[in-house]
Amino acid sequence: MSEVDIDLIIGGPQGGGIDSAAQIIIRSFSIAGYEAYGIREYHSNIKGRHSYFHVRIKDEEVRSLRYPVDILACLDSETPFVHMYDVTKNTIVLFDEDVKGTKLNQVLTLEPETKKHIEEKLQSEGYELTVSGSLEYMKKRGAILVPVSFRSLVNEALGPSKPPARYANTLGASISMALMGLDSEFTMSGIASVFGKKKEVLEDNEKIVKVAYEYISKNNGLKIKKLGPKTVRERYILTGNEAIAIGKVIGGLKLQTYYPITPAADESFFLEGHDYFDELSGGENETLRKSGVVIVQAEDEISAIAMAISGAMTGARTATGTSGPGFSLMAEAIGYAGINEVPVVITLYQRGGPSTGLPTRNSQADLSFAVNAGHGDFPKIVLSSGDVQEGIEDAVKAFNFAEMFQLPVIHILDKNFANSFYVVDGIDYDRMKIKRWKLPEKQEGEFERFKFTEDGISPMGFFGKNIMWLTGDEHNEIGHITEDPETRDAMMVKRMGKLEIAKKMIPLEDQAILFGDKDADVTIVSWGSNKGIILDVMDKLKQEGKKVNFLYIRMMVPFPTDFVTNILKNSKMIIDVENNYTGQLAMLIKQNCAININKYLLKYNGRHPTEDEVYDGIKKLIDGKSNRVVMTNGA
């Protein structure tokens, strides 16, 4: 049982340093030896609207977030309105007392619909439409209000010449950590790890930390339990985007193409900013140190996938990263890679759709599209990851699978995975090996690139080593266009047969995993970043005496039909948990296993699912109160 378990939201204007504040908190606690996990929620505009970071701190592994929170740090006048439902008894609400008089209609960045909901709630309960009104509402719910004059404290620390708004993020983070009982030395270390390369900025922020801790020690009447340091050790703090980038480099990436799109682009930006990954490998890992990765920003997604395919034809391990709208544009070219048996990796970061949809919000609604991307029948592998360790390893495996079976691999992720911060002890490079198969030798004359073989995998050919013919048409063994029906049949059987070969060769744990007792009364099925949340909920249900297991699907194509069928055919109750409206994994299970799932726990408002709402939803489904529960948490 964790002795330390704190959920915190720190919110403010987009562009106001919310990311930096969250990184300071996560790094400070990580340096002190605690575990941390956080997700960034933000609007799709560039600057101004509300942004917040939801972070959980524990002294054991953190796999999920929860509501209500223990601390709400409000760095502006909008946050007390937006998050007034997220508090409960003893929630500490830190706010800037200088904005207490701000009226609801003066907060211009609030969306009209959100403003209307808040107005109706405050008026119905007799509170004025001001920050003070929202604070009183939270106080009635049992929250403990901690007023601070941000301007006064910044002036005290740095003098009147420094703008308070610039330091609100550091001040809010520092006061929050003081309220949580973390020793200031760790907060100082966290500040240094974020601003260490900017001497003047670091010095200013260290003064902010000092003033923040002094203020709380003198003016706060709360009984704060001081958190003692745990075993301090060097660890990595990674986002999902960064994990995939690192995995690709370990897997031999030579060319990454992309067109900027949220939330995929951060992966390529990270690759662009780390030429040799020395800081990640300590200069010791030869693969990282001499990676020599080329990153190309294309003019659009069609060019990005075409460049990646072209690079793969030369023997380079190539990938492209995109999100739903960009993936839509890539569909035809993915079919080209399919018919020409090109080993290319497409990393698909899902976000809210359809069309532009919710550009910066979470979704798992591209699953059916990824499985069926491209017209006609051709083999592809679609695999998913649920946390950073899996993400790193799967990025390596994606290249291995693409090359071993000579087909496109779609590595499907979600926004929650991409924009989450994870603390990991290290990267086990020995677990991730580059596997190459049937590499070509240079030869004279035309090369039978699509030769029929006993194992169903043709000899690999690369431009520069072999003379090959590749078109978008059906072809013979050399690659020349043909419409001969017998050749067409043979080529279709050869290509599609790769999926059965892959299913036999890929280890079962890379296809699906069963957590818990096989004979449980309730089986939860899910995928992607829901993994950690469901494992936490399982622990809670187990403590209550409920027999629950979790079937975690990792590979969507080829689908682990036999394993999934054997688990589900005797299940007394099956609950599908997904972040989409239609239950797309459940549909995939029905298609492959002929098993109907009729209990759903779904979320599609774009916000991250939390432990509490998944727990409550599963309890309702188990109790028979509903067959479909929709989760609605999140601001």
* DSSP assigned state of 361: S
* N-to-C CA span, the chain: 29
Return the higher-pLDDT residue of 445 and 467: 467
Closest CA to 363 of 263, 267, 266, 265: 263
The answer to whether residue 56 scores a pLDDT higher than 80 is: yes
The reply to whether 237-431 and 508-630 are identical in fold is yes
How large is the average pLDDT for residues 614-634?
Answer: 95
How large is the average pLDDT for residues 154-179?
Answer: 93
Which pLDDT score is estimated for 443? 67
Average pLDDT, the chain: 92
Tokens of 487: 């050749």
Q: What is the pLDDT of residues 311-335, one digit of tens each?
A: 999 999 999 999 999 999 999 999 9
The answer to whether residue 278 scores a pLDDT higher than 60 is: no
Classify 266 as helix, strand or coil. Answer: helix
Q: Are 421 and 27 in contact (CB under 8 A)?
A: no
Domain residue ranges of the chain, discontinuous segments joined by +: 5-219, 237-431, 438-506, 508-630
Interhelix angle 611-622/530-543, nearest 10 degrees: 60
Which of the residue ranges 121-125, 277-281, 290-294 would you say has the lowest mean pLDDT? Answer: 277-281
CATH of 237-431, one of 1.10.3720.10, 3.40.1280.30, 3.40.50.2020, 3.40.50.970: 3.40.50.970
Put simply, whether the predicted model's pTM sits higher than 0.85 gets the answer yes
Count CA atoms within 13 Å of residue 621 on its CB side: 28
Cα pseudo-dihedral 258, 261, 267, 271, rounded to 10: 50
Closest CA to 77 of 51, 53, 103: 103
Which pLDDT score is estimated for 446? 83
| Residue 259: alpha-carbon gap to chain centroid | 19
Count CA atoms within 13 Å of residue 464 on its CB side: 8
Extract the runs of DSSP E, i.e. beta strands, from 398-496.
409-414, 420-424
The set of residues, in sequence order, having a beta carbon less than 8 Å from that of 586 and lying 6+ positions away, is 525, 576, 578, 597, 600
* DSSP assigned state of 127: -
In this structure, the chain runs to a length of 635
Q: Sign of the CA dihedral 374, 380, 385, 391? A: negative
For 115, other C-beta atoms within 10 Å of its C-beta total 18
The set of residues, in sequence order, having a beta carbon less than 8 Å from that of 364 and lying 6+ positions away, is 350, 414, 527, 528, 530, 578, 579, 580, 584, 585
Closest CA to 604 of 264, 348, 351, 324: 351
Which of the residue ranges 101-110, 287-296, 405-414, 508-517 would you say has the lowest mean pLDDT? Answer: 287-296
How large is the average pLDDT for residues 397-414?
Answer: 97
How large is the average pLDDT for residues 121-146?
Answer: 97
d(CA 525, CA 6): 28
The answer to whether residue 251 scores a pLDDT higher than 70 is: yes
The set of residues, in sequence order, having a beta carbon less than 8 Å from that of 254 and lying 6+ positions away, is 292, 293, 294, 311, 316, 317, 318
Tokens of 594: 């002929």
d(CA 634, CA 607): 5
Does domain 508-630 sit in CATH 3.60.15.10? Answer: no
Which pLDDT score is estimated for 221? 67
Which pLDDT score is estimated for 282? 45
User: Which phi-psi region, left, alpha or beta, contains residue 502 (left: φ > 0; alpha: ψ -120 to 50)?
Assistant: alpha
Q: Report the range out of 177-186, 284-293, 371-380 with the highest average pLDDT.
A: 371-380
Tokens of 137: 């509402």
Classify 113 as helix, strand or coil. Answer: helix
Q: Sign of the CA dihedral 439, 443, 447, 452? A: negative
Ordered alpha helix ranges (H), 196-239: 199-219
Which pLDDT score is estimated for 379? 98
Cα-based distances in Å from 219 to 208, 212, 213, 604: 16, 11, 10, 43
d(CA 366, CA 238): 24
DSSP conformation letters of 23-82: HHHHHHHHHTT-EEEEEEEE-SSSSSSEEEEEEEEESS------SS-SEEEE-SSSHHHH
The answer to whether residue 605 scores a pLDDT higher than 50 is: yes
Q: Where do we find the tokens 């240094």?
A: 192
Does domain 5-219 sit in CATH 3.30.9.10? Answer: no
What is the percent of the chain with per-residue pLDDT over 90, rounded to a whole number? Answer: 82
Which pLDDT score is estimated for 291? 58
The answer to whether residue 46 scores a pLDDT higher than 50 is: yes
Which pLDDT score is estimated for 201? 86
φ and ψ at residue 388, rounded to 5 degrees: -70, -40
Classify 396 as helix, strand or coil. Answer: helix
Ordered alpha helix ranges (H), 259-385: 265-272, 278-281, 286-289, 301-313, 324-339, 367-372
How large is the average pLDDT for residues 129-152?
Answer: 96
How large is the average pLDDT for residues 91-97?
Answer: 96
The answer to whether residue 579 scores a pLDDT higher than 90 is: yes
